[in-house]
Amino acid sequence: VALRVTYLHYFPKIADAIGGPPASPPVLGPFGSDPPVVTLEDWKARRAPLLRAALAEDVFGALPPHLDEQVLARLALPTDGLPAGAKLQQLTVGFGAAGDRGKANVLLVQGTGRPRALIVIQNFCGNAVALNNRYKQAFSLAGTAKECRGVMEDLSHIILGKYPHAPPLKWILERGYAVAMVYAGDLVPDDHRTAPAALARLYGPSPQGPPGGALAAWAWLYSELGEVLTREPGLQGAPVIAWGHSRNGKAALWAAANDPNIAGVIAHQSGRGGASLTRSAMGESLGGITRNYGFWFTPRYATFAGREAEIPVDQHQLIALIAPRPVLIGSGDRDGWADPPGAFRAVQGASPIYQLYGAPAFTQTQLSQPDFSRPLAFYMRAGTHGVTTQDWGNFLQFLDAHFPARG
Ligand code: GCU
């Protein structure tokens, strides 16, 4: 359904200079009965916890409780096509005692030496597709979204660009990064009929905070994987980057807003419920997303449909919670569905918190003229929803600027 919805939307070219309404209420201003934020201490001690609680309450639900993770099985795979010395394996990670609360299969790809960072990628189509079906026989396709099979898979490649499902591993490794890939639907299915049972198992009998939807569980998966994977040989101390396209970008942002151990985020075309402001007129409506994908969110999010101006919290505050860590928001000028101007205004709105930390302000005025040297960065490239060669060029340029080689 998701891909079908996306495919059918072809948007007129979005203007490059930003002229829309200002961001939702300023991030430093009063928030409910909480007085304005003046110092970094005000932000850290008072405001950030309030915003995190508000985003849990009104948008995503709280993350599941932390569980013990362990590697239950390992499968070594041939590394043809990867640089010399590379290592490719699939780890089955279990959560709770022997994986009784949930499991996920993770493809771990490592080069030689210590990586600049470990990029954790949540994909749409499972690990077989993430390796261009080179080892299809090694993986079960049982958990793979139906949009990713057969004709739909071919179609999605044509429409979504070169790298929507299978990132350019050789290139990424040569630039000094390690990669972990996972299909979050392994843990909580991307399906409103089967997600509730998986969520109930993950949250357990006494969840702490408002019930989370699938995005909260997928966010939690970024965190738990960051923890378990940085115990692997060669990955100790590696900064963990949460990378997500579209729905996975929404989860990546919520992950980093909760988990200080996530060192940076790339949220590409994450749209409504992601980097784009809920109070925004362009693209997917709040009513639409919660009608089609209500189970991604906490049920309260849907109650603001048609009265978006009343939602107490907005997505610039989500981005602000990640400060001062590097965040890159990517978009396309024909991807109005994901609302690039709404994401641009959210980035502008988050900038004062980066400045509180002493980081440079976000001063960009054209959507298409990024400055990747700043920790808070935004770009809009030509084209639609998808992941292209140009996108990976941008991602790596941004990461290189913020995550130095570690020798
Ligand atoms: C649908 C959905 C979006 C989502 C996208 C995706 O189009 O409406 O909110 O971001 O799927 O994940 O590709």
| Ligand 1 atom nearest 247 alpha carbon | 12
What does the alpha-carbon distance between residue 211 and residue 57 come to, in Å, rounded to a whole number?
8
Question: From the CA of 95, how far away is ligand 1's center (Å)?
Answer: 27
Q: What is the pLDDT of residues 119-176, one digit of tens each?
A: 999 998 888 778 877 766 666 555 556 667 677 667 766 777 777 778 999 999 999 9
Identify which of 125, 163, 246 to mutate to test ligand 1's pocket (most ligand atoms within 8 A of the CB). Answer: 246
Strands (E), 193-348: 240-245, 262-268, 327-332
Identify which of 337, 384, 385 to mutate to test ligand 1's pocket (most ligand atoms within 8 A of the CB). Answer: 337
Q: What is the pLDDT of residues 267-290, one digit of tens each?
A: 999 999 999 999 998 999 999 999
At residue 376 the predicted structure's pLDDT band, cuts being 50, 70 and 90, is: very high
Q: Find residue 254's DSSP bridge partners.
A: none
- Token pair 């419920």 is found at 273
Question: From the CA of 245, how far away is ligand 1's center (Å)?
Answer: 9
CB 386 within 8 A of CB 332: yes
Is the complex ipTM more than 0.90?
Answer: yes
AA letter at 379 = Y
| Ligand 1 atom nearest 248 alpha carbon | 12
Would the pTM of this model clear 0.90, i.e. be above it? yes
Ligand 1: residue whose CA is nearest its atom 1:
2
Residues having CB closer than 6 A to ligand 1 are 2, 5-6, 246-247, 271-272, 284, 289, 337
Question: From the CA of 3, how far away is ligand 1's center (Å)?
Answer: 7
